[in-house]
Amino acid sequence: MAGCLFCSAPLRQTFVDLGMSPLCESYLPAEALNQVERFYPLHAYVCERCFLVQVEQYVSPEAIFTEYAYFSSFSDSWLAHAKAYVDMIASRLGLSGTSRVIELGSNDGYLLQYFVAKGMPVLGVEPARNVAEAAVARGVPTHVAMFGRQTARELQAQGLQADLLIGNNVLAQVPDVNDFVAGMKLLLKPGGVLTMEFPHLMRLMQETSSTPSTTSTSPTFRSSRPSASSPRTGCVSLTSRSCARMAARYGSTRDMRRSRGRLRARTSRGSARVRRRRA
């Protein structure tokens, strides 16, 4: 077993072992129905040092994201949630036609389209080319890349930094959480705002553990977005404590205290938000 994806401590403590499972959202073509399908261990560990819950990485991110079957816009209720967020944050931050909005893991443009409608310059960063093409067709400029420090530096070199940087339901799926978060810091404009949204592990357990079963597996720990609990690329689930530690690593001491307070306050409602120090 490899070390923790965040702090590299050895992983020994099982969080839940759900046996073997095929990859989620990887649908078989008709000609593959009589062939062997690969199964992977759906065995989540919790790091005893930083409390990050995670599964080991078995499949390369490239293999998963080259052709991806999850299109966020397929869900009407998800679109309504995205639009409500855009209206709220644009008003709260006083965003204007000169405010650059960048979303990481922007999928098919389901969210950024509402900033476009407000006349704001946007950029999506999305690793799955087939999904990014749907975003571009919708009028959402999208850079196809697996985000991390290198992509952030390339965008920075083009003069692109975010007044508002968004990472919704993406951190749990990135192969290298430290490289991803370091990249966010580079891509955020001084004085800019970062908002993140992800399933909160404690609430996930509280709201889904009332009917535990020894025979049925995934329903017990299924989140609002099924991919969050499947063996994809070393998935993680964040707790308040792991969030706070991540903020501590990437912020200054002064930021850390402020960020921690904010994280604690927000994670109790299932999302986290970190505000960067004004330069």
Question: Of the candidates 6, 15, 65, 147, which one interacts with Zn ion according to CB under 5 A?
Answer: 6
The 3-state DSSP class for residue 188 equals strand
Shortest Å, Cβ 14 to Zn ion:
15
Q: Is the dihedral of CA 99, 254, 252, 195 positive or negative?
A: negative
Residue 47 vs 102, nearer CB to Zn ion: 47
- Distance between CA atoms of residues 90 and 92, nearest Å: 6
Report how many residues bind Zn ion under the rule CB under 5 A.
8
In this chain, which stretch among 7-15, 158-166, 188-196, 197-205 interacts with Zn ion, using CB under 5 A?
A: 7-15
Instruction: Write out the chain in H/E/C secondary structure.
Output: CCECCCCCCECCEEEEEEEEECCCCCCCCHHHCCCCCCCEEEEEEECCCCCCEEECCCCCHHHHHCCCCCCHHHCHHHHHHHHHHHHHHHHHHCCCCCCCEEEECCCCCCCHHHHHHCCCCEEEEECCHHHHHHHHHCCCCEEECCCCHHHHHHHHHCCCCEEEEEEECCHHHCCCHHHHHHHHHHHEEEEEEEEEECCEHHHHHHHHCCCCCCCCCHHHHCCCCHHHHCCCCCCEEECHHHHHHHHHHHCCHHHHHHHHHHHHHHHCCCEEEEECCCC
Residue 23 vs 236, nearer CB to Zn ion: 236
Shortest Å, Cβ 13 to Zn ion:
11
Residue 2 vs 80, nearer CB to Zn ion: 2
Q: Is 4 in the site for Zn ion (CB under 5 A)?
A: yes
Shortest Å, Cβ 245 to Zn ion:
8
In this chain, which stretch among 39-47, 62-70, 110-118, 193-201 interacts with Zn ion, using CB under 5 A?
A: 39-47
Q: Is 248 in the site for Zn ion (CB under 5 A)?
A: no
Q: Is 238 in the site for Zn ion (CB under 5 A)?
A: no
Q: Which residues 51-70 are close enough to bind Zn ion by CB under 5 A?
A: 52
Q: Is 7 in the site for Zn ion (CB under 5 A)?
A: yes
Question: Of the candidates 42, 47, 235, 272, which one interacts with Zn ion according to CB under 5 A?
Answer: 47
Residue 54 vs 99, nearer CB to Zn ion: 54
Q: Is 274 in the site for Zn ion (CB under 5 A)?
A: no
Q: Is 50 in the site for Zn ion (CB under 5 A)?
A: yes
Q: Is 236 in the site for Zn ion (CB under 5 A)?
A: no
Q: Which residues 146-175 are close enough to bind Zn ion by CB under 5 A?
A: none
Binding site for Zn ion (CB under 5 A): 4, 6-7, 9, 47, 49-50, 52
